[in-house]
Structure 1
Amino acid sequence: MRKNLTTTLIALSAAAALGLTGCGASTSNATGTAAATSTQAAHDSVMIADAWVKASTQKDGMSALFGVVTNHTGAERTIVKASSDAAGMVQLHTTVTTAGGGTEMKEKEGGFPLAAGASVTLEPGADHVMLMGLKRDLEAGDTVDVTLTLDDGTEVKVSAPVKAFSGAQESYAPTGDSSTGESSHAGH
């Protein structure tokens, strides 16, 4: 009887341990690989999924970080700045429609707000993290480290794979007069 009770207690302890392990959330970290994290940690952080950087050359001088940033905290947060050792300057950018009906890429004043539990999608032709003054060529298959800084000082670090992408041919050289409806910056 005592042996059966001990065996039952061991079995229950093992089942409970397995059950607790199952409470952890499986999330995708910035590099896209599965990582087991606790449910609490996933719900107390801001995370970026499906992150990638557009392949570009140092001569072209520009690229951008894209992905989906989700606020798993219970408070509103704002991405206020970004940095990367791959670029001389990093800015939060958006694309807006000009009075003439064209589009213009410009720095996003005030950053990217993230309501509690909400996501913001960083994508070509919309909000994105602009990498300017590239310090090296960014070739498909490379990885670029970017740090997003939130309004509370929290840093969200991401190692994003570089992917070839034929769209978003950004350029700061004016391609037309925005008052005529032509694009002031190419590619968006």
Structure 2
Amino acid sequence: MAIRRLFTRSLVRSAALVAAALLLVVGLAACGDDDTADAPDAKAITVSDQWVKAADSGMTAAFGTISNSSDRDIRIVSAHTDTARTTEMHEVVDNGSGGTTMRQKDGGFVVPANGSMDLTPGTEHFMLMELSKPITTGQDVAFTIRFEDGSTMEFTALARDFDGNQENYEPGHEGMDE
């Protein structure tokens, strides 16, 4: 009888410990689903309305809206497409004499927490330099963007004709003196 009581007590304690451990694991997993602090930056970003300006050679640019669903700012540190030798993140700034000039954006693009940024002609954009082949109207152009945390995401942008925004470039910027 004493052995049976000891066995039952041990069994009840073991079951209680297993149940407590299971509740702890389930609770931690549930907390993890709502907490995006440790999720890769790429998981919180979407790209919409993306397009690239059709061009036969030289340079062109890509535009769109980049949205961030997380509670923290997310930094894009680089972009790449196989259709250009170099892809840079550019901004348009006042040149000090009443006009504007385009230059590489130091530190990349920051997409605000629970917000978005628009890449539009005449503002921030991805600049494709030294095209490896023509980009024709209707073509899909594949891009990969890299975030500060090392994660990446891919998207495609549809090429279209656009005659606007004949940009001025910062003096001495390699490949942009054309």
TM-score, length basis structure 2: 0.69
Aligned identity (percent) is 37
Indicate how the Cα distance of structure 1 residues 153 and 167 shifts in structure 2: closer, same or farther if over 3 A, else same: same
Partner Cα separation in structure 1 for residue 47 and residue 110 of structure 2: 14
How far the C-alpha of 1:73 sits from its partner, in A, is 1.9
Matched, 1:83 2:83: no
Query: Where does residue 130 of structure 2 map in the other structure?
Result: 133
Matched, 1:169 2:170: no
Query: Where does residue 48 of structure 1 map in the other structure?
Result: 47
Q: Secondary structure at the match of 2:149?
A: coil
Indicate how the Cα distance of structure 1 residues 150 and 100 shifts in structure 2: closer, same or farther if over 3 A, else same: same
CA RMSD of aligned residues (A): 2.6
Matched, 1:62 2:98: no
Q: Secondary structure at the match of 1:124?
A: coil
Matched, 1:154 2:151: yes
Kindly report which structure 2 residues correspond to 1:2-151, keeping only aligned pairs within 5 A, or say none: 44-58=43-57, 61-151=58-148
Partner Cα separation in structure 2 for residue 173 and residue 95 of structure 1: 10
Partner Cα separation in structure 2 for residue 170 and residue 136 of structure 1: 21
Structure in which a larger fraction of residues adopt helix: 2
Contact 1:170 1:185 survives alignment (8 Å): no
5+ long unaligned stretches in structure 1: 1-39, 175-183
Give the counterpart letter for 1:64 in structure 2: A
Partner Cα separation in structure 1 for residue 105 and residue 143 of structure 2: 17
Give the counterpart letter for 1:162 in structure 2: A
Indicate how the Cα distance of structure 1 residues 169 and 185 shifts in structure 2: closer, same or farther if over 3 A, else same: farther
Contact 1:62 1:170 survives alignment (8 Å): no
Structure exhibiting the larger radius of gyration computed from Cα positions = 2
Aligned length: 135
How far the C-alpha of 1:185 sits from its partner, in A, is 8.1
